[in-house]
Chain A
Amino acid sequence: MAQSSWFRNYKVAACVLVALAAAPLVPVLNSSYMLHVLILMLMWSVIGMSWNLLSGYCGQVSFGHAAFFGLGAYTAGILYLHGGVSGWWGLPASVIVVGLGSLVIGYICLRLRGPYFALGTLAMGEVLRVTAENMEWLTEGTMGIMIEKRTWVAKEPFYYIVLALAVGTFVIMELLVRSKWGYYFVAIREDQDAAESLGIDTTRYKTIALVISGVLTGLVGAFYTNYMGFIDPEVVFALHDISIITIMVVMVGGVATRWGPFAGALIMIVLSELIRAMPKIGTAHQTLFGVLLIVIIIYLPNGVMGDFRKVFRLVRRGAAPARAGGE
């Protein structure tokens, strides 16, 4: 019985999983390019879900998720470069490195609240970028780290690894959000002082959210190093291309919703690929993203999943005989 009710709750999840697992078997999707797009989408879903835990559920808005991503990426890169082992060891190693790194970042930033926390994390990302650029003996500086030979030429193995990462993250999020901790996170988001005076050790739970969020993002970073075969500080610690896009993915998809990060990642990646393919305006894709974000904040403040009914209504109205004007 328990199993069937579990299945009812997660029917959508099971369908999505089957569809994603079967995707490479579909001829149209089984091109190097399409798989690359799918891999990017899953990577962003994982980063989005982790950000969603810390910032969506626990309310500590991070502008510095590039710090975790970059730490993970460099863990893999440095292990490969100096340790002489496969970059894949970076995945388990990044759990430790990013876990410790998150503790340090949390120790510094979590005493700040609201916008100050956001600025603190933003600074952390930038500090790490500059550090990586200058510690040339360890990181090769702005030259970056190149992995001579990627593990596989085909995309499928990478795809299934990142899919496993996404499924694992999804399960962890479901377990966490439905647990006692999940309630504590939301209580902290809604009113930190009230949570504290009710007996919740807010510093401790904020740290837990931050470390889990950081570690999962770091895993994607370590995966990225192995997948792309090249990292440099400009890319993996990027404020605009990582930290800000992370926030956009979740805001577009829906903050503190189960499927928001997936929907957001799908929309953002597809849009970015479409816009980049356009002649002339392709180079302006970041400008267009900015416009998109403004539109989303005005019309769908809870994101595509959060305002699901609203989107549904808009679509239906669009299909019905046209009516002038909007709301």
Chain B
Amino acid sequence: MLKVEGIDVFYGDVQVIWDVSFEVNEGEVVALIGANGAGKSTLLRTVSGIVRPRKGGITFLGEPLAEVPPYRIIEKGIAHVPEARRLFPDMSVEENLELGALKPAAKARRADSMERVFTRFPRLEERRRQLAGTLSGGEQQMLAIGRGLMSLPRMLMFDEPSLGLAPLLVEEVFQVVRDVRADGVTVLIVEQNVRQTLAIADRAYVLETGRIVRHGSGRELLEDEEVKKAYLGV
């Protein structure tokens, strides 16, 4: 579904991604794991078109994304739930969700999608008129995910959804990721919470200083000695 082939990404003159290739198949949950600064978020931002690779290519459903401006990526069926939520704090919950459904196909079914988001996250319905900036961290994360779902994506990219949340909410977030997949949406997830991520991922790639150093099924990597030592603290 998503194919990333041999990309190099630079911030100014600094190369942060070195010849990275990975792919995500329809219906999978694929995880990118690695330490701080490994380049995980950069990879998602590259898929979103916010940063452009200097070398290599990205295709989604067979279509190259190199020439697609960032605001049209969502029309292709890719939604991004960015790191630190990136909500519009001075807008209400409802307005944030509405802005998730701008492409015509999603707009036509907006009321329907919003009902579904509210059914999944009843807390958001209770607070539909509240400003997003006044929600708790967990509620904000749910809203960010809800906003991503509003575009009726084929693939949803999560960037550190568990960041800064209490353990109970982290549980909830991973449950949401499972539900999203169960609804037929492909998932690409970036996380530092390696154990829980590998537990739900079909496949995962381990990223170290901008290079992919390991790749395997979630279970394999959970058992991998190196991964255990480096990320699971065993």
Contact = CB atoms under 8 A, between A and B. Distances in A.
B111 interface: no
Interface string A184-203: 00110011011111111110
B69 interface: yes
B140 to A, nearest CB: 12
A190 B71 contact: no
Contacts of A190: 87-91
**Chain B CB within 10 Å, residue with most, of A191, A199, A201, A202:** A199
Contacts of B43: none
Contacts of B89: 190
Contacts of B46: none
Interface string B90-125: 110001001110110000000000000000000000
Given A191-B86, A202-B71, A197 B91 contact: no
B88 A197 contact: no
A198 to B, nearest CB: 5
Interface residues of B, number: 26
Given A183-B95, A187-B91, A187-B99, A196 B86 contact: no
Interface in A151-202: 183, 186-187, 190-191, 193-202
A110 to B, nearest CB: 14
B90 A197 contact: no
Contacts of A193: 50, 82, 86
B228 interface: no
Contacts of A198: 71, 74, 99-100, 102, 147, 151
B80 A199 contact: no
B76 to A, nearest CB: 10
Interface in B55-98: 69-75, 79-80, 82, 86-91, 95, 98
Contacts of B50: 193, 196-197
B69 A201 contact: yes
Contacts of B71: 196-202
Interface string A4-30: 000000000000000000000000000
A181 to B, nearest CB: 12
Contacts of B73: 197
A199 B88 contact: no
A191 B88 CA distance: 7
B141 interface: no
Given A187-B99, A199-B72, A200-B71, A194 B88 contact: yes
B102 A200 contact: yes
Given A183-B99, A199-B75, A194 B87 contact: yes
28 contacts: A183-B91, A183-B98, A186-B90, A186-B91, A187-B91, A190-B90, A191-B87, A193-B50, A193-B82, A193-B86, A194-B88, A195-B99, A196-B50, A196-B71, A197-B48, A197-B70, A197-B79, A197-B80, A198-B71, A198-B99, A198-B151, A199-B72, A199-B74, A199-B75, A200-B71, A200-B99, A201-B69, A202-B71
Interface of B: 48, 50, 69-75, 79-80, 82, 86-91, 95, 98-100, 102-103, 147, 151
Given A197-B70, A197-B71, A200-B102, 4 more contacts: A183-B91, A183-B99, A197-B74, A197-B82
Interface of A: 183, 186-187, 190-191, 193-202
